[in-house]
């Protein structure tokens, strides 16, 4: 059995990502304004909380919902990120105003 992603347990850092940010699914139908919801191909049930992967340019590049089984990050700190949300940062990373 693998580890389970949760509020204080982010997935491992991979590829070109900078940090993990706590959020709800950014690609869920409910994340979009009403005028765009018809363009979303399907409804994936309720919007879930989890960890959004952010790249070095600040773009959302992935999302892992809480309860997912995967390898967890083993060396990180949780702190307020650039938008004041809880973020899992690599060691020796600090965001300031």
pTM, two decimals, is 0.86
Query: What pLDDT, on a 0 to 100 scale, did the predictor assign at position 88?
Result: 94
Rg (CA), the chain: 14
Query: What pLDDT, on a 0 to 100 scale, did the predictor assign at position 92?
Result: 74
Q: What is the pLDDT along the chain (97 residues), one digit of tens a residue?
A: 579 999 999 999 988 899 999 999 998 888 889 898 888 876 678 899 999 999 989 999 999 999 999 999 999 999 988 888 899 998 876 665 4
Rounded CA-CA distance 91/39 in Å is 40
Structure tokens at 29: 């139908």
Nearest to 4 by CA among 68, 88, 87: 68
pLDDT tens digits, one per residue of 59-85: 999 999 999 999 999 999 999 888 888
List the chain domain ranges: 3-89
């Amino acid at each position: 059995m693998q580890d389970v992603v949760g509020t204080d347990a982010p997935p491992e850092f991979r590829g070109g990502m900078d940090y993990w940010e706590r959020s709800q699914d950014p690609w869920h139908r409910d994340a979009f304004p009403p005028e765009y919801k018809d363009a979303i191909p399907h409804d994936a049930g309720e919007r879930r909380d989890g960890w959004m992967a952010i790249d070095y340019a600040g773009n959302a590049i992935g999302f892992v919902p809480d309860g997912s089984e995967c390898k967890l990050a083993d060396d990180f700190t949780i702190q307020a990120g650039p938008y004041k949300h809880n973020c899992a940062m690599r060691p020796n990373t600090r965001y300031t105003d």
